[in-house]
Structure 1
């Protein structure tokens, strides 16, 4: 797990940690059921307070991205998690909207866009 803290960011440190972990979960860089660094280890690595890492992990847990197992630590939630699935669908929607706008600028018809999508899906499944 790679976290970079920026002093020039307008975001509080716990929020920077939370956002970066969330991005790594949604991108698949952090895999489901993967164990996260302990609160103390992350705080030591980032040279910050354990309270800050605790707040970031607690908020990620409340939002459904990670889960804690008493005595074992924090783990990435399954990709079947409703919240994670919803975030991924939101990302697909955004990318499809961007693709539609680009296709319209290229004067593509709906049929051309659908054929292209089908072709891309076939290539991806091979």
Structure 2
């Protein structure tokens, strides 16, 4: 697993790690039952605090994406399709909020935004 952090991004380091690992899990690059690097090894490799790495792992565990086994490590949990759908849905909601805010800042009406969605909805292929 290849992770990187940026001190200049403005996003907390633990959040950067969490989001990168989450993306690896949701995309299937990290599979069910696969072990994550140990907290200490990941902290060493990224040259960050063990506490920062632990916070990222704790938040992933709270979201149900990983589980810690005492003395063995942290593993990707069996994927619950509904849980993954919920995570992605929440992310989509945040993106839509940003789009609406940007549209309002440009002076677009609800109808203008709806037209944009309708235009692009037909063009996007799954």
Normalising by structure 2, we get a TM-score of: 0.69
C-alpha contact 1:65 1:76 (8 A) present in aligned 2: yes
Q: TM-score, structure 1 length as denominator?
A: 0.69
Partner of 1:124: none
Q: What's 2:48 paired with?
A: 48
Deviation at 1:83?
Answer: 1.9
Q: Please give the per-residue CA displacement for 1:37-95, whole angstroms capped at 9, x wherever unaligned.
A: 0000000100111011011101110111111111111001111264224335x39x89x
Q: Does 1:102 align with 2:117?
A: no
Structure 2 Cα separation of the partners of residues 33 and 99 of structure 1:
38
Structure 2 gaps of 5+ residues are 94-115
- Match in the other structure for 1:35: 35
- Whole-Å Cα distance in 2 between the matches of residues 64 and 101 of structure 1? 36
SS of the equivalent of 2:8 reads coil
Q: Within 1, Cα distance between the matches of 2:44 and 2:32?
A: 24
Q: CA RMSD in A?
A: 2.7
Q: Give the aligned partner of residue 60 of structure 1.
A: 60
Instruction: Work out the CA distance in 2 between the residues paired with 1:6 and 1:73.
Output: 26
- Once superposed, which parts of structure 1, at least 4 consecutive aligned residues long, lie more than 6 Å away? none
1:100 Cα deviation after fit? 6.0
